[in-house]
Amino acid sequence: MIVVMKVGSPEEEISRLTEEFTTWGLSPEKIVGQHKVVIGLVGETADLDEQNIQEISPWIETVLRVERPYKRASREFRHGESSQVVIPTPNGDVTIGEQFPISIVAGPCSVENEEMIVETARRVGAAGAKFLRGGAYKPRTSPYAFQGHGESALELLAAAREASGLGIITEVMDTADLEKVAEVADVVQIGARNMQNFSLLKKVGAQDKPVLLKRGMSATIDEWLMAAEYILAAGNPNVILCERGVRTFDRSYARNTLDLAVIPVLRTLTHLPIMIDPSHGTGRWEYVPAMAKAAIAAGTDSLMIEVHPNPAKALSDGPQSLTPDRFDALVKELAVIGRAVERWPEPQVALV
Amino acid sequence: MIVVMKVGSPEEEISRLTEEFTTWGLSPEKIVGQHKVVIGLVGETADLDEQNIQEISPWIETVLRVERPYKRASREFRHGESSQVVIPTPNGDVTIGEQFPISIVAGPCSVENEEMIVETARRVGAAGAKFLRGGAYKPRTSPYAFQGHGESALELLAAAREASGLGIITEVMDTADLEKVAEVADVVQIGARNMQNFSLLKKVGAQDKPVLLKRGMSATIDEWLMAAEYILAAGNPNVILCERGVRTFDRSYARNTLDLAVIPVLRTLTHLPIMIDPSHGTGRWEYVPAMAKAAIAAGTDSLMIEVHPNPAKALSDGPQSLTPDRFDALVKELAVIGRAVERWPEPQVALV
Amino acid sequence: MIVVMKVGSPEEEISRLTEEFTTWGLSPEKIVGQHKVVIGLVGETADLDEQNIQEISPWIETVLRVERPYKRASREFRHGESSQVVIPTPNGDVTIGEQFPISIVAGPCSVENEEMIVETARRVGAAGAKFLRGGAYKPRTSPYAFQGHGESALELLAAAREASGLGIITEVMDTADLEKVAEVADVVQIGARNMQNFSLLKKVGAQDKPVLLKRGMSATIDEWLMAAEYILAAGNPNVILCERGVRTFDRSYARNTLDLAVIPVLRTLTHLPIMIDPSHGTGRWEYVPAMAKAAIAAGTDSLMIEVHPNPAKALSDGPQSLTPDRFDALVKELAVIGRAVERWPEPQVALV
Amino acid sequence: MIVVMKVGSPEEEISRLTEEFTTWGLSPEKIVGQHKVVIGLVGETADLDEQNIQEISPWIETVLRVERPYKRASREFRHGESSQVVIPTPNGDVTIGEQFPISIVAGPCSVENEEMIVETARRVGAAGAKFLRGGAYKPRTSPYAFQGHGESALELLAAAREASGLGIITEVMDTADLEKVAEVADVVQIGARNMQNFSLLKKVGAQDKPVLLKRGMSATIDEWLMAAEYILAAGNPNVILCERGVRTFDRSYARNTLDLAVIPVLRTLTHLPIMIDPSHGTGRWEYVPAMAKAAIAAGTDSLMIEVHPNPAKALSDGPQSLTPDRFDALVKELAVIGRAVERWPEPQVALV
């Protein structure tokens, strides 16, 4: 932590601060610059809050953090190595991580009925997906829009899991529903709007199922990693980070701006595995293939893609869903890039 | 709802769509332009989703909504009149609304101990505040930061309420805590990070205490009003909208960008009363007086201002808190503007 | 300048850097933290570029600037005092600055014909404006939109100046037009889109007329002050900073987000006077009164307001223009706030 | 153009408007909805301005544009086909377009001296680049930073062109320099900060050299295409669109957010060829390889990459430059993706 003093700070004030910091168990070191004095704080500073330090003297101009605010999520925590998340599914364990082949998650925005979800599961599984996504509880901007079938949809997901052998990824929105969701889900999803629902983060951190943590609509990378830190600190080491587009000034064509540069950025900051969601990330199925291919070329560990048997009749998010036929075609295109970067799953080659 | 067809759309496709819309109970009306055809949908379109309509034909270029997506929150719902929220407090009813004097909410970010919260309540009450704010449950970016004293802080708020006669405004973060919070609070606050926590919105809508709904960090005005609609639709008509700064590209000085233009904008869209929070809205107490005065001049109905007896020792948000002495001085400055716009409470004149 | 080294940086590399910095004439001071080493650079660092320093070693994690990058624009440059810009007009000198009454600039987006501009000048002058604004050269998003009457419009501005006695503020877009513009204008305006047109900044800095520097649509405050620094460094000390709204994620109602918090922020950073433009800042005349009043309460030194005798027929920016009658009414409302903050021009009292 | 009337608009006002539109040579068609009336304007509406229409009646709620505002830049203008730009270079014609192999532009931010620029040209040419980039005139945030060597740097670029056979791409910042720049450059670049410098756009549109148009830092796609329209409308059909990252709320790691989804979006809107600049787009060379590969997978027609023989000593933009050795390695990685998508230039295979 670096404390920058204002021009003209009185010598006594600097001495007073130096003593104060010493009582905190820190070793303050003073650098006298041409115009300004800065004080470096040596010691255990990770838990200190820049804003609180700033307030201890009106002569402090600014406080700069040198240490990163997250620990367990940091790449250093694993000594520079990446980590992976192993997810048991009926078809066997699937591992998501930097050293492993790319996994695909596919399925509809929301679970509508048994036939639809089982059929979608079979189709995306046949095309090569390892996981079925599908919402039982849906965050919707309007109270008058379809809110998901809730508990009964969880049963349908269980049926689709059995029928297809795929792992299930589904969202939890309320701490009160977590137990039920975790019973069915192989991976519990925290949606973008709940990325800083800290009560929910603590509770998914205190249970055993892996967690897919979507980036908030306007969350910085540091805030996203701090949200992951909540889960890790609560005891659950299995967190996957999912980029799904951020909000910018232009939403005329793509609904969000898919920030693919998080891939190389996150590699330097964290050991956690990465997923990219080009369906929410762009909001239109026409843009999904280009961005899914780009994500693979940029080094993603997994992809989440919306597929619906009949997008025109979808109860939510129709315009960003691919039909199963288009998804089949897309997986073939993805395989070309996936093989070029040597991250395409071998058994899947036969299927494609 | 206006459906714009792509250039070159086949006549049969337009006929097919026209028939489809008719089966939905709508009266489609076709306008043949120089290059494009548009179809106007007449009938009950408020519940239709633009995105779903878009998907029914690949020849649809875009779908434009003509009706606003919210009903109960709209100004038309009250025939163009504003509404007000009446809040019973130990000192009597306080009314927040466009036709009423400005109310001030003041207090610390979080409740730290009894002495501190009671003392703050007395000081801000003496200066003219009608409500005490103070967090029992605190949303914090870091899991390692102080998270609020929770349930025990609620008791301290009750003590401060009794000691000062002020109404209490405090945040609820988890549906599981709502009952306890609503027992103590005169107004239940939904924080910016939970503005789209739809489970929580439904539950605060299903109880009786008035709700202060903070705008999400990157929420559009329509999304904010739709969040209010969740509460209204669940049966609670007492919602106050609180602007607390949005996230933009520049956070070097002010932490957020306080969007004061929401005041005239909301007046045309909604009947709900408005509060402005310049403390979170700027993130530094030095900027609070200018923005609080601006908010009054722009027509706000109420203000929320952070006050802490000793900001340097605050467990959270110190840099944006005023001391009680500075708050006293600020209220005097606010009174000057408040009287100029004829919205300053009369009995308070004596106090200032 | 603070150089933060990566965790595990080799001792030799730190020594090498220390020597390198010494050869630059700096005194490097090393602080050994618990995990990281930081090097403070003491000496003349204002001209150093953080990015270039970063590149001198792959072991540098980040470089933090302690000194502000601007000098002449900084408040310290005037020893903490504000500066003012004195502008001679036919009606006498007008001074814009923190210690002076508020000045109003009013007029149409573009100069359309002699009658219209002379009439507008008279009306806004009668209402209390000191300056007439009006575009001869107009930046327009579309090449097919009206681009301003150019040189002939300058003559009409000169006529309006003579007829009304008001000072003239008009925009220059091309270095080739500067001489002609400066002949007529009392203040030369640099528009938001040209805030970082550095060729133009240098040239307006090398002439004598005061410069109104509008903030770029997504310019940070530091970038804005650096743009002012270009003009100051080229020799022209008379710069007024004009906030006109920034671009954010929500443009459904207000076209831009008027960032009024720049007023208290700029007061701590710079000595330069401030103008607020609520017309461009919101994009709709209905929102202008609330934001103009707010700007005065927040402490602006001057206001720029669009007025057009017949906004419905305006060749550009109609929706944000007030009619002269509405402007008359607005000035009366502004006077109420202006007097409350004791910054309303005395002679004008008679007019209002 | 669709005119949406407010709820409760009087019948006479609607009639009046209908007549007014008729006098403009348009055929207004009225649709009476459940709550609102909308008027569709049929006829030549491309040159009409939504904002001006809005002002003709206080009863108009909003005006929605159905036609796109650009013509020559639109894909429809080429009947759905892409266009290409053919650039003569000493080594022969290079074609940039959707149906052609990917072209690479490489070189330093600014031209520093003859040896450096000639050496860089040789190295990047040997690795497979077709064009040398290098700034003679540099837009710099600070007036105290290196501003480019100007005219003398143009001569060095000519020397590098002759020595390497590469085409030259260099930026023009001032209309006064255009002639000199166009003499040396094979492609004239308009930088992000000048994307809406309309004087400059008109002048590059009135000369013969192809134009590389960088997207403004916060320009919408429509604004970017309108800037291209300025050049096309002035008579120059050879425009290449270059995405270089947009400004968002998070700049802690990547300096800008590279918006790769523009690739599929632009394909549906325009016939113009596309370039991606991952160096400015991320601001750090470590992130360049991932994003360059992603750009190819997403379908870009060309790439612009900063290469500097000694980034640590670069006079500008060092941290985003690759060394020639790293560039060699990167081109080999790019070739893998380029061949997978069948857009890698054949003769280059031998070189790699």
Name the pLDDT band for A317 (thresholds 50, 70, 90).
low
Cβ neighbours, 10 Å, residue A119: 16
Residues on chain D bordering chain B, Cβ-to-Cβ distance under 8 angstroms = 2, 4, 7, 29, 31-36, 38, 40, 42-45, 64, 66-67, 76, 218, 247-249, 251
Q: Using the beta-carbon criterion (under 8 Å), do C32 and A42 form an inter-chain contact? A: yes
The answer to whether A71 and A229 have CB atoms below 8 angstroms apart is yes
Averaged confidence pLDDT in chain A: 92
Share of chain C above pLDDT 70, in %: 96
Q: Using the beta-carbon criterion (under 8 Å), do A38 and C76 form an inter-chain contact? A: no
Cβ neighbours, 10 Å, residue D24: 13
Distance CA(A322)–CA(C141), nearest Å, equals 36
Using one digit for the tens of pLDDT, what is the confidence trace for B94-147? 999 999 999 999 999 999 999 999 999 999 999 999 999 999 999 998 898 888
Q: How far is CA B334 from the centre of its chain?
A: 22
Share of chain B above pLDDT 70, in %: 96
Q: Using the beta-carbon criterion (under 8 Å), do C38 and A76 form an inter-chain contact? A: no
The partner residue sitting opposite D220, judged by closest CB among A252, A291, A340, is A252
What residues in B contact A52, CB-CB < 8 Å? 312, 314-315, 318-319
What residues in D contact C141, CB-CB < 8 Å? 69, 196, 223, 226
3-class secondary structure, B121: helix
Cβ neighbours, 10 Å, residue D77: 15
Residue B108, both tokens: 């610390």
Q: Using the beta-carbon criterion (under 8 Å), do D287 and A281 form an inter-chain contact? A: no
The partner residue sitting opposite D173, judged by closest CB among C57, C199, C319, is C199
How close B221 comes to chain A (CA, Å)?
Answer: 12
Strand duo C103-107 + A60-64: pairing = unpaired
Averaged confidence pLDDT in chain C: 92
Distance CA(C263)–CA(C278), nearest Å, equals 13
Query: What's the confidence (pLDDT) of residue C314?
Result: 67
Q: Which of A174, A68, C287, A145 is nearest to B141 (CA)?
A: A68
What residues in A contact D264, CB-CB < 8 Å? 282, 286-287, 289-291
Chains in contact with B, where contact requires at least 3 CB pairs less than 8 Å apart:
A, C, D
Share of chain C above pLDDT 90, in %: 71
pLDDT in tens, chain B (352 residues): 888 888 888 999 899 989 988 888 888 888 887 778 888 888 777 677 777 788 788 788 888 887 788 999 999 899 999 999 999 999 999 999 999 999 999 999 999 999 999 999 999 999 999 999 999 999 998 898 888 899 999 999 999 999 999 999 999 999 999 999 999 999 999 999 999 999 999 999 999 999 999 999 999 999 999 999 999 999 999 999 999 999 999 988 999 999 999 999 999 999 999 999 999 999 999 999 999 999 999 999 999 999 998 876 666 666 788 999 999 999 999 999 999 999 999 764 444 4
How close C351 comes to chain A (CA, Å)?
Answer: 43
Residue C51 clears pLDDT 80, i.e. is over it: no
Q: Using the beta-carbon criterion (under 8 Å), do B54 and A226 form an inter-chain contact? A: no
Using one digit for the tens of pLDDT, what is the confidence trace for B8-32? 889 998 999 899 888 888 888 888 8
Query: What's the confidence (pLDDT) of residue D347?
Result: 60
How close A74 comes to chain C (CA, Å)?
Answer: 12
What residues in A contact B141, CB-CB < 8 Å? 69, 196, 223, 226
How close B318 comes to chain A (CA, Å)?
Answer: 6
Distance CA(C278)–CA(C288), nearest Å, equals 5
The partner residue sitting opposite A336, judged by closest CB among D254, D281, D340, is D340
Using one digit for the tens of pLDDT, what is the confidence trace for C236-271? 999 999 999 999 999 989 999 999 999 999 999 999
The partner residue sitting opposite A197, judged by closest CB among B54, B193, B230, is B193
Region D190-207: what's the mean pLDDT?
97
Query: What's the confidence (pLDDT) of residue A347?
Result: 60
The vertex-B207 CA angle with B203 and B209, nearest 5°, equals 120
How close C170 comes to chain D (CA, Å)?
Answer: 16
Q: Using the beta-carbon criterion (under 8 Å), do B223 and A175 form an inter-chain contact? A: no
Residues recorded for chain D: 352
How close D258 comes to chain A (CA, Å)?
Answer: 7
Residues on chain C bordering chain A, Cβ-to-Cβ distance under 8 angstroms = 2, 4, 7, 29, 31-36, 38, 40, 42-45, 64, 66-67, 76, 218, 247-249, 251
N-to-C CA span, chain B: 53
* CA closest to D8 among chain B residues: B76
Using one digit for the tens of pLDDT, what is the confidence trace for D121-157? 999 999 999 999 999 999 998 898 888 999 999 999 9
Residue C147, both tokens: 């681009």
The size of the B-D interface in CB pairs under 8 A is: 59
What residues in C contact D317, CB-CB < 8 Å? 51
The partner residue sitting opposite C261, judged by closest CB among B218, B291, B293, is B291
Query: What's the confidence (pLDDT) of residue D349?
Result: 43
Chains in contact with A, where contact requires at least 3 CB pairs less than 8 Å apart:
B, C, D
Strand duo A60-64 + A2-5: pairing = antiparallel
CB-facing half-sphere around the CA of A305: CA atoms within 13 A = 33
Region C221-232: what's the mean pLDDT?
97
The size of the B-C interface in CB pairs under 8 A is: 123
Distance CA(C274)–CA(D230), nearest Å, equals 33
Using one digit for the tens of pLDDT, what is the confidence trace for A200-247? 999 999 999 999 999 999 999 999 999 999 999 999 999 999 999 999
How close C261 comes to chain B (CA, Å)?
Answer: 7
The answer to whether D168 and D184 have CB atoms below 8 angstroms apart is yes
Region C165-187: what's the mean pLDDT?
97
B interface mutation test: which of D6, D24, D27, D34 has the most B CBs within 10 A? D34
Share of chain D above pLDDT 90, in %: 72
Q: Using the beta-carbon criterion (under 8 Å), do C141 and D196 form an inter-chain contact? A: yes
B interface mutation test: which of C287, C339, C342 has the most B CBs within 10 A? C287
3-class secondary structure, D246: strand
Which secondary-structure segment (H or E) carries B131?
strand B131-133
Q: Residue C77, exposed/middle/buried by CB under 10 A (0-12, 13-18, 19+)?
A: middle
The partner residue sitting opposite C29, judged by closest CB among A31, A76, A247, is A31
Q: Using the beta-carbon criterion (under 8 Å), do A34 and C43 form an inter-chain contact? A: yes
The partner residue sitting opposite A291, judged by closest CB among D248, D289, D298, is D298
Q: How far is CA C222 from the centre of its chain?
A: 12
Name the pLDDT band for C45 (thresholds 50, 70, 90).
confident
Residues on chain C bordering chain B, Cβ-to-Cβ distance under 8 angstroms = 218, 220-222, 246, 248-250, 252-254, 257-261, 263-265, 268-269, 281-282, 286-287, 289-291, 293-299, 336-337, 339-341
Distance CA(A322)–CA(A286), nearest Å, equals 8
Q: Using the beta-carbon criterion (under 8 Å), do B260 and C289 form an inter-chain contact? A: no
Using one digit for the tens of pLDDT, what is the confidence trace for C107-123? 999 999 999 999 999 99
What residues in D contact B268, CB-CB < 8 Å? none
Q: Residue C96, exposed/middle/buried by CB under 10 A (0-12, 13-18, 19+)?
A: buried
The partner residue sitting opposite A294, judged by closest CB among D218, D281, D297, is D297
Region D105-127: what's the mean pLDDT?
96
Q: How far is CA B152 from the centre of its chain?
A: 27
The vertex-A105 CA angle with A104 and A109, nearest 5°, equals 150
What residues in C contact D226, CB-CB < 8 Å? 141-143
Q: Using the beta-carbon criterion (under 8 Å), do D261 and A282 form an inter-chain contact? A: yes
Query: What's the confidence (pLDDT) of residue C330?
Result: 98
D interface mutation test: which of C180, C199, C279 has the most D CBs within 10 A? C199
Domains of chain C, earliest start first: 2-65 (3.30.70.1140), 84-340 (3.20.20.70)
Q: Which of D179, D222, D228 is nearest to D202 (CA)?
A: D228
Residue C61 clears pLDDT 90, i.e. is over it: no
Q: Which of C249, C251, C246, C299 is nearest to C274 (CA)?
A: C299
Name the pLDDT band for A156 (thresholds 50, 70, 90).
very high
Considering only residues D243 and C352, tell me which one the structure prediction assigns the higher pLDDT. Answer: D243
The partner residue sitting opposite D261, judged by closest CB among A263, A291, A336, is A291
Query: What's the confidence (pLDDT) of residue C296?
Result: 98
Considering only residues C104 and C60, tell me which one the structure prediction assigns the higher pLDDT. Answer: C104
Using one digit for the tens of pLDDT, what is the confidence trace for D247-265? 999 998 999 999 999 999 9
D interface mutation test: which of C21, C52, C220, C307 has the most D CBs within 10 A? C52
Name the pLDDT band for C153 (thresholds 50, 70, 90).
very high
